Amino acid sequence: MSKKAFQDSYSAEFSHCYGCGRDNPHGLQLKSYWLNDEDKTHTIAHFTPKPYHTGGVPNNAYGGLIASLLDCHGTASAAAAAYETQGRKMGSTPVLRFVTASLSIDFLRPTPIGEELTLCGKVTQLKDRKATITLSLSAGNMLCATGTMTAVRLKSE
């Protein structure tokens, strides 16, 4: 994908996240985008788990990996929606940066390793500093996990 990912607009100080920091060579380096240019309500990201992302059952991904992916996709979606609501370019100052306050996940079925996963997000509520995001993770047409996140925007100081 040639478009700029949400995470690529994070400033250097916020680019070391294990899940999505572009400057963390040991991390997952997740990249999140709007679904398309016309639809700035839904977000998407892709990730292909490696064999070492197993939870112990061969060919199945570790639940903590799934949580990490949803975590980063959710907070990135919240930030993108907040900039969009303000009609501002992502990354412009003052910076709008969200952290996870709460994340609940339903693991619906085992998530395969070696197949490209699709993460989807939708910010269903954005009020003051608080965002609610619904999330899903699928392998092909198989829905493997769903999540709900509350993300809170960091105070400027």
> Applying CB under 6 A, which residues contact ligand 3IX?
10, 14, 17, 19-20, 71-72, 75, 97, 99-102, 128-130, 150, 152, 154-155
Least distance to ligand 3IX from the beta carbon of 124, Å? 14
| 43 close to 13: Cβ distance less than 8 angstroms | no
Least distance to ligand 3IX from the beta carbon of 151, Å? 8
- Measured from the CB atom, the residue of 19 and 147 that comes closer to ligand 3IX is 19
- Measured from the CB atom, the residue of 88 and 109 that comes closer to ligand 3IX is 88
Mind giving me the DSSP string for 7-50? GGGS-GGG---TTT-TT-TTS----EEES-SS--SEEEEEE---
Half-sphere exposure (CA, 13 Å, Cβ side) for 117?
29
Give me the residue whose beta carbon is nearest to ligand 3IX: 101
Instruction: For residue 19, give both structure tokens.
Output: 């899940």
Least distance to ligand 3IX from the beta carbon of 154, Å? 6
| 114 close to 49: Cβ distance less than 8 angstroms | yes
Least distance to ligand 3IX from the beta carbon of 95, Å? 9
